């Protein structure tokens, strides 16, 4: 029997969980009103949205007035960055060159169209933004309205930052702190009421919810204007008829993710270690991007395979062999140059970078198969190919 495919690209997106799909289907079929209508159908739709808001706020320990539904992480991050400049008078933004393009391209836009200085911190070889340089930059920023925007989990290499540490430093210097938490929501516990965070973003498709729905957190102290104008939904923060089924599904997905967070994390950590140890044994010279396990997301493993006669089309060959992985971020996959993240890391010229990302359902047998396939695809002799048949 032909073995089934092995999907190891959960950082790009996750499949919808069957329980989440059930909720989404029920709402899509049975809740047909417009939440802005005052009749019974409208009121039912409004109730579904507000119950979903309560569920998500409970998971994050945020107030109901601090959560706004959007269409995705990109929209949330753009609304926050552009709003901070336009509505809060921010004239200096400190960020990192390893952020997702929805931050970097928004910052390019801001720098082109507003009198704002954008500063990019140097990063450690592990991908973490340099904390000492951040402290110096924050001292330099005193007296200037400043926003720091740093992602919690890097989507390409899994590097994490301690939000408490970075956020506190920003607040100690009077700066606002925003984190693109798209890869972390559903995998981290938050206590937003007590954390030094002003803004954050989430996206349901990263935690087994549907695509096309997300949220933004805006601390009560701040009032931003919307990016979209129209019907004044979401307390005038996001016009457009709400994606009711998507919102209900996102709430269910986050609730389930939080309920099982610890066991899912340790499962993925075990699969990550298994893959790393296995790959190190079969691929001489293999290196890892990102910090040691403790500071890395358990769901992401990014490795560099030394250049060899057969590594040129490694990702494509993995795909043909039935393994879905990624080279850089999903958005830039297919492009043969090193991604904007890898260009800032100590990756050897010619190395092929592969990002594997795991789910709580990834099995030890699947990982063993991926190790065998990687061995056969990168070996310079035919020997490994035959030994994997045993
Ligand atoms: N931020 C990070 C770190 C991501 O990984 C992604 C998606 O890949 C996004 C933002 C964008 O999220 P969305 O796809 O919901 O727009």
Tokens read off for 124 = 């450690």
- DSSP strand pairing (176-180 vs 199-203): parallel
Both 244 and 266 in one domain: the answer is no
pLDDT at 251: 98
Establish whether residue 181 lines the binding site of ligand 1, counting it when its CB lies within 6 angstroms of any ligand atom. Answer: no
1 part of a folded domain: no
pLDDT at 381: 58
Both 291 and 180 in one domain: the answer is no
Report how many domains make up the chain: 2
Domain final residue, candidates 194, 224, 259: 259
- Ligand 1: which of 102, 188, 326 to mutate, judged by most atoms within 8 Å of the beta carbon? 102
Domain final residue, candidates 238, 259, 280: 259
Both 236 and 271 in one domain: the answer is no
Is residue 158 a contact partner of residue 179, using CB atoms and an 8 Å limit? no
Model confidence pLDDT, tens digit, residues 305-340: 999 888 889 999 999 999 999 985 444 455 567 899
| Parent domain of 277 | 6-14+261-388
Both 50 and 192 in one domain: the answer is yes
CA of 102 to the centre of ligand 1 (A): 7
pLDDT at 390: 37
CA of 383 to the centre of ligand 1 (A): 41
In the residue annotation, 331 being an active-site residue is answered as: yes
Both 223 and 266 in one domain: the answer is no
Domain final residue, candidates 259, 281, 316: 259
26 part of a folded domain: yes
Q: Which of 87-91, 233-237, 326-330 has the lowest mean pLDDT?
A: 326-330
Both 70 and 125 in one domain: the answer is yes
CA of 371 to the centre of ligand 1 (A): 28
Q: Which atom of ligand 1 is nearest to the CA of 151?
A: 3
Both 171 and 268 in one domain: the answer is no
348 part of a folded domain: yes
The pLDDT of 353-370, averaged and rounded, is: 98
Both 28 and 172 in one domain: the answer is yes
Establish whether residue 100 lines the binding site of ligand 1, counting it when its CB lies within 6 angstroms of any ligand atom. Answer: yes
pLDDT at 330: 46
Q: Which of 13-22, 87-96, 129-138, 304-313 has the lowest mean pLDDT?
A: 304-313
Helices (H), the chain: 18-30, 40-60, 73-88, 101-113, 131-141, 163-172, 233-236, 244-259, 261-282, 314-320, 364-378, 383-387
Q: Which atom of ligand 1 is nearest to the CA of 330?
A: 8
Both 255 and 365 in one domain: the answer is no
Establish whether residue 73 lines the binding site of ligand 1, counting it when its CB lies within 6 angstroms of any ligand atom. Answer: yes
Nearest CA to ligand 1 atom 5: 155
Q: What is this structure's pTM?
A: 0.95
Percent of the chain with pLDDT over 70: 94
CA of 44 to the centre of ligand 1 (A): 31
Both 204 and 302 in one domain: the answer is no
Both 108 and 86 in one domain: the answer is yes
**CATH number of the structural domain spanning residue 252:** 3.40.640.10
Q: How far is CA 278 from the centre of its chain?
A: 26
Q: Could you identify the residue written with the tokens 């995998």?
A: 187
**CATH number of the structural domain spanning residue 296:** 3.90.1150.10
Q: Which atom of ligand 1 is nearest to the CA of 154?
A: 3
CA of 382 to the centre of ligand 1 (A): 40
316 part of a folded domain: yes
């Amino acid at each position: 029997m032909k073995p089934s495919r092995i999907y190891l690209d959960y950082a790009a997106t996750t499949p919808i969980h069957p329980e989440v799909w059930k909720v989404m289907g029920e709402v899509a079929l049975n809740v047909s009103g417009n939440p802005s209508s005052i009749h019974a159908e409208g009121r039912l739709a409004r109730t579904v949205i507000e119950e979903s808001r309560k569920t998500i706020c409970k998971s994050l320990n945020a107030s109901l007035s601090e959560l706004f539904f959007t269409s995705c992480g990109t929209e949330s991050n753009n609304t926050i960055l552009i709003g901070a400049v336009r509505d809060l008078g921010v004239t200096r933004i400190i960020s990192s060159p390893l952020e997702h393009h929805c931050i970097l391209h928004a910052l390019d836009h801001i720098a082109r169209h507003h009198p704002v200085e954008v500063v990019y911190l140097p990063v450690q070889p592990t991908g973490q933004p340099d904390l000492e340089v951040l402290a110096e930059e924050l001292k330099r920023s005193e007296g200037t309205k400043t926003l720091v925007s740093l992602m919690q989990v890097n989507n390409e290499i899994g590097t994490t930052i301690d939000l408490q540490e970075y956020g506190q430093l920003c607040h100690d210097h009077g700066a606002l702190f925003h984190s693109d938490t798209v890869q972390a929501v559903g995998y981290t516990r938050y206590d937003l009421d007590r954390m030094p965070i002003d803004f954050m973003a989430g996206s349901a498709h990263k935690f087994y919810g549907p695509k096309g729905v997300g949220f933004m957190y805006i601390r009560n102290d701040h009032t931003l204007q919307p990016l979209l104008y129209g019907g004044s939904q979401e307390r005038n923060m996001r016009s457009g008829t709400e994606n009711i089924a998507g919102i209900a599904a996102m709430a269910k997905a986050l609730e389930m993710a939080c309920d099982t967070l610890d066991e899912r994390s340790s499962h993925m950590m075990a699969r990550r270690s298994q893959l790393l140890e296995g790959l190190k044994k079969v691929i001489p010279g293999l290196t890892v991007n990102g910090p040691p396990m403790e500071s890395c997301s358990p769901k992401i493993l990014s490795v560099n395979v030394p250049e060899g006669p057969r590594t040129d089309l490694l990702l494509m060959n993995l795909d043909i062999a039935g393994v879905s992985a990624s080279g850089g971020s999903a958005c830039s996959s297919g492009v043969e140059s090193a991604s904007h993240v890898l260009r800032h890391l100590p990756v050897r010229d010619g190395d092929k970078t592969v990002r594997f990302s795991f789910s709580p359902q990834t099995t030890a047998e699947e990982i063993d198969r991926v190790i065998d396939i990687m061995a056969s695809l990168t070996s310079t002799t035919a020997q490994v190919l035959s030994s994997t048949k045993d």
